[in-house]
Structure 1
Amino acid sequence: MTTDALYAPARSQVAPRKRATGKAGIRWNTAAGHVVMIVLSILCLFPVYWMIVSSFRPANAIFETTLWPSAASLDNYVHAINAIPIGTMLLNTFLVSSIVTIVQLFTGLLAAYAFARWRFPFDKIIYTLIALTWLVPFQVVMIPNYLLVADLGLLDSIAALILPHFAGALAVLMLAQAMRSFPAEIIEAARMDGAKSWRILWEVIAPNLRGTIASLAILLFISTWNEYFWPLLLSRTPENSVVQIGIQMFITSEGTAWGPLMAASTLASLPILFIYVVLQRQVIQSFMKSGIR
């Protein structure tokens, strides 16, 4: 007892010092991590800020290096709106992105349920082929898709921008993986209650995959909104085109109208920025769940 009494204070004095040192180290690591994240955030946001600021610069000051224009003006926005039907293009882009997102979610859910819950001949081979299509560049299938759309008489139409995107490998892969991890007991209980596959999919599985479906919808919408090459190949008139093609119209052989281009780019970015601000958590989760791995 005497020995314990003598050494007890010493132990009680040493332990707090170690804990204090450990806490200080954690605080420094946390502060260093925050500093790194702040620097990276500035590097990521600065191009967006510069685009917005440049859209307010007059033509004779477009190459100023000040962080705020010396004479802010809305002339670039007026010029952009008058030069191209940007309102119609934004509406077309939103329409195409929304329809593609809805259709790919629908076809993806059907295909994913078949691969996750059914067994049929060559199912693994078909699933592998679908996965491999995700690795095929668009340029490989560009000419066949173009010839198909031309044979259907859909050139220079909104339908032509939507038709090749009725199904996508990303939707099938993400949803199939989520359905495979869905508890089989719940599905069996639904079957015992007399539910068929259609009802199980839409009333049991889909409502419980809202997070995955929302994340996938955000990814599909943003990807379609940023699509450029396929609309460039099909579009003939600005009224039947999307906003990405409208932005490209400010780049000509005679030069680049930087002010109107920045104004049009800002207007084209506003819907996506709004979606990101409102659905920030879902956007981050969508990139974590999608493979962007």
Structure 2
Amino acid sequence: MTKKLSRVSGHVILILLSFLALFPIYWMIISSLKSSPEIFGYSMITTQPSFSNYIDAFTTVPLFRMMLNSVVVSLGTAVIQLVVAVLFAYAFTRWNFKGKIVVYGILSITWLIPVQAIMIPNYVEIINMGLNNTLFAMILPHCCSVFANISMYQNFNSIPKALIDAARMDGSSELQILKDIVLPNMKSSIASLGIVLVITAWNDYLWPTLVARTDEVKPIQIGLKSFTGTDTNMWGASMAAATISTIPILIVYIFMSRKIISSFMKGGIK
């Protein structure tokens, strides 16, 4: 009886937490289908669903262009950060050199530096390089992620060193070891880290605001701000645009969910 009560109470808690997580998404979608008078009401449903807000969203800003910019910036940033993190983690786990602990300590400390503290120097450098108002300007300052480096380093430590040494004795080069042995065993960890990096880059707002000047370069996060202002607030169109902007992230998660769950399971076993 005690086990049944514990199981039931656990399911009830999970249902409540799931409701709290999904309710904002439901509210966003249902608000995008409401008319202007209904949006300011308290009804949880709409009696006359309309897609006029989606039409307003596409006519107000170049939504597809902004979403494409966000996809390019997010995937480009995440891929570069993963490549740097993999190379960093492999070097730090497989080679011992003087000052290794010091380098790792300094790298960890830089994680504590807020982005706002280095934003102005980065902006000046982007201006001097002539990259302002380009997609590359939103990617370049984020090519190296301390979070990704440290996370990947912790995952690479789980690979037995005897396996690497055996491959070296067989005459495999470091690149072959990394490609044929290390990376196949790290697919789940790389996938879970990759989706975190993609979401982080997708939600970035402050830095793109500085370097993106025209609608042809602005990502979707800045485009959502175009629906609200001091004069008018297009809440319906804003909810419609926000609903559309979640689709790419949802697709990424669906395709990589198995890898993420596998990574969590491996972490739990360890």
Q: Which whole-Å CA distance do the structure 2 matches of 1:117 and 1:34 have between them?
A: 44
Contact 1:216–1:286, Cα closer than 8 Å, also in 2: no
Shift of 1:274: 2.8
Deviations 1:16-37 (A, max 9, x none): xxxxxxxx10010110111111
CA-CA distance at 1:255 after TM superposition: 3.3
Please tell me whether residue 142 in structure 1 is matched to residue 119 in structure 2: yes
Q: Which amino acid aligns with 1:63?
A: F
Deviation of 1:250 after TM superposition, in Å, equals 1.0
**Aligned partner (choices 92, 106, 115) of residue 92 of structure 2:** 115
1:266 pairs with one of 239, 243, 248: 243
Match of 2:61 in 1: 84
Q: How does 1:1-293 map to 2 (within 5 A)?
A: 24-283=1-260
Q: Deviations over 1:231-270 (max 9, x none)?
A: 1111100110100000011121113211111011001011
1:219 touches 1:283 (CA, 8 Å); kept in 2?
no
Paired letter, 2:187: R
Tell me the distance in 2 between the aligned counterparts of 1:184 and 1:219: 28
- Is the CA contact (8 Å cut-off) linking 1:215 and 1:285 kept in structure 2? no
| TM-score normalised over the length of structure 2 | 0.94
Q: Percent identity?
A: 40
Give the match for residue 11 of structure 1.
Answer: none
SS of equivalent residue, structure 2 residue 216: helix
Q: Structure 1 stretches of 5 or more lacking a match? A: 1-23
Q: Aligned AA for 1:237?
A: T
Contact 2:191–2:256 (CA<8 Å) still a contact in 1?
no
Calculate the aligned-residue CA RMSD, in Å.
1.8
Aligned amino acid, residue 245 of structure 1: I
1:94 partner amino acid: V
Aligned equivalents of 1:178, 1:108: Cα separation in 2: 11
Provide the secondary structure at the position in 2 that maps to 1:135.
Answer: coil
Contact 2:195 2:253 in 1 (8 A): no
Please, which runs of 5 or more residues in structure 2 have no aligned partner? Answer: none
CA 1:182–1:223: 2 relative to 1, 3 Å: same
Q: Matched residues in 1 for 2:128 and 2:59: separation? A: 35
Q: Partners of 1:288 and 1:158 in 2: how far apart?
A: 37
Kindly indicate whether the alpha-carbon contact (under 8 Å) linking 1:77 and 1:260 is maintained by their aligned counterparts in 2: yes
Report Cα offsets for 1:150-191 as digits up to 9, x if no partner: 111111110101101111112211111122221111101101
Structure-2 separation of matches of 1:211 and 1:40: 26
Bigger Cα Rg: 1
What is the identity, as a one-letter code, of the residue corresponding to 1:135? L
Measure the CA separation in 1 of the matches of 2:119 and 2:247.
29
Equivalents in 2 of 1:31, 1:103: separation in Å? Answer: 45
State the secondary structure of the residue aligned to 1:279: helix
- Whether the aligned pair in 1 keeps the contact of 2:77 and 2:198 (CA below 8 Å) is yes
Where relative contact order (Cα < 8 A, 6+ residues apart) is larger, the structure is: 2
Measure the CA separation in 2 of the matches of 1:286 and 1:50: 31
**What letter corresponds to residue 266 of structure 1 in structure 2?**
T
The DSSP-based 3-state class of the residue aligned with 1:91 is helix
How many angstroms does 1:283 deviate by? 4.3
Amino acid in structure 2 at the alignment position of 1:138: V
